[in-house]
Amino acid sequence: MALETPTWLNLCFMEKTLRKSENDNSIQVIDIFSKPATNKGDNYTSDMVRVTVEYSRDQSGRKITEKKSVIVKIEPTLEGIRKDLIVQSRIFNTEMLMMTDTLDKMNKLLEPKNRLSGKGMYVQRDNPTLLVMEDLAPLGFRMACRQAGLDLPHCILAIRGLARFHATSVAVCEKEPNQKQMYSRGIFNGECPPEMSEFFVLGVKHLAEEMANWPEFKKYSEKIAKLADHIYKVGIEACKFSEDDFNVINHGDCWVNNMMFKYNDDGKPIDHIFVDFQICVYTSPAVDLLYFLSTSPSSDVIENNKDILINEYLSTLSATMKQLDCKTQPPTKEELKASMKRRAAYGMIASFTVLPMILVDKNEVKNLDEIMSKDGYTNPGYKNETYKKIMMKRVPMYDEWGLLDV
């Protein structure tokens, strides 16, 4: 991301934003300080700036001075594959809808005890397209380490948060059925820009090339190479909405970097909150569960505690839906597992394409334009030893399930 703060991000812009979000025209911005809000590899689809604003306002007939930190999330403006992919897939529109409408309604059902997200403060639809949001860092939230994988206490908080997200979405959709149509696209759909399907196709081809060099993995590498050109269609199928399923608004991009945790004095995680709502999609919750389980827990948790997480999810989902008086019945464990089995290819695609971006070493991180450059697809994450170890366990399993057959 360009380090220079854009010229329009000035005192005047922040004053307009705060007056609108606080509904207070007495606000006068005194000073602002801005810096990039994320490191390379933490966020692929937008430019994020953290802005600290010092301002005065009238309160009970006198002027008081306050400070606030906000996040300004900007649709990419630099020409390139990344900009084309993000603008044409309209994922910013999805997040704007979530932050200004749906999430607001979902949060109101849970507050004050729980919160699913920060508050959306201001939306600008062009020149450039952007969102201004509450900064969660001053509230004590921070990201966990993406490379280590989440341990069981982190995973339990995340899975409960996901269950609440899904349960409140059911409650909102029961009251307003049109909410379902608002999130019908997701990342896998027939109208996506070619760059979107290209990202998945090239990633899977890259994996097949890499795997050809792994001892005794040549047969899998050949199958994966054949599968590559079909992978986006496989994703569409795995994500498809079905009337017969239990359906929710899925977060859609539920991995370790799109959530933040709060810790107690002993360093134990005690709270969880979601960020980034660009690819929310109304379909089976199996989509979020498969994506999260394939990308975010540590190997130890996935191998030994997967069932604990599914049970946690179901009990929190059922309890929250009951508390919200949902008419819809939550799925049984058998129904949920059957849906996850039918859609298992979704977890495989996440393992093939998203996991290498999560496990890549910090000093080797590339942005989307660098990964999908004119000289060919390159992502050093595929050479990562941890990634290789994980895939050596998962690929034979995917083959056994018949997922590698075209």
pLDDT in tens, 215-248: 889 999 999 999 999 999 999 999 999 999 999 9
How many residues in the chain? 406
User: What amino acid occupies position 293?
Assistant: L
Answer whether the bond into residue 76 is a cis peptide, omega within 30°.
Answer: no
Instruction: Determine the pLDDT at residue 2.
Output: 43
Q: How far apart, in whole angstroms, are the C-alpha atoms of residue 202 and residue 228?
A: 7
Nearest to 1 by CA among 53, 49, 52: 49
**DSSP 8-class letter at 117:** B
Take residue 117 and report the two structure tokens written for it.
Answer: 């997200």
Cα of 130 vs its chain's centroid, Å: 17
* Other CB atoms within 10 Å distance of the CB of residue 100: 14
Q: How far apart, in whole angstroms, are the C-alpha atoms of residue 359 and residue 356?
A: 5
Answer whether the bond into residue 6 is a cis peptide, omega within 30°.
Answer: no
Residues in the chain with pLDDT values less than 50: 1-3
Alpha-carbon torsion, ordered 322, 323, 324, 328, to 10 deg: 0
Contact 235, 204 (CB under 8 A): no
Instruction: Determine the pLDDT at residue 84.
Output: 64
Alpha-carbon torsion, ordered 174, 175, 176, 181, to 10 deg: -10
Alpha helices in 32-90 (DSSP H): 81-89
CA atoms within 13 A on the CB side of 346: 27
**DSSP 8-class letter at 385:** H
Tell me whether residue 282 is exposed, middle or buried, using C-beta atoms within 10 angstroms of its C-beta: 0 to 12, 13 to 18, 19 or more. buried
Residues with Cβ within 8 Å of residue 242, at least 6 apart in sequence: 283, 284
User: What amino acid occupies position 212?
Assistant: A
CA atoms within 13 A on the CB side of 82: 19
H helix or E strand, kind and range, residue 286: helix 286-295
Instruction: Determine the pLDDT at residue 45.
Output: 66
Q: How far apart, in whole angstroms, are the C-alpha atoms of residue 160 and residue 316?
A: 6
Contact 143, 42 (CB under 8 A): yes
Please tell me whether residue 49 adopts helix, strand or coil conformation: strand
Instruction: Determine the pLDDT at residue 1.
Output: 38
Q: How far apart, in whole angstroms, are the C-alpha atoms of residue 24 and residue 26?
A: 6
Q: What is the 3-state secondary structure of 194-234? A: HHHHHHHHHHHHHHHHHHCCCCCCHHHHHHHHHHHHHHHHH
Domains of the chain in start order, with CATH, are 98-116+141-400 (3.90.1200)
Take residue 402 and report the two structure tokens written for it.
Answer: 């018949």
**DSSP 8-class letter at 346:** H
Nearest to 361 by CA among 145, 44, 200, 150: 145
Instruction: Determine the pLDDT at residue 80.
Output: 67
Its pTM stands at: 0.92
Q: How far apart, in whole angstroms, are the C-alpha atoms of residue 128 and residue 151?
A: 39
* Other CB atoms within 10 Å distance of the CB of residue 208: 21
Q: What is the 3-state secondary structure of 143-181? A: CCCCCCCECHHHHHHHHHHHHHHHHHHHHHHHHCCHHHH
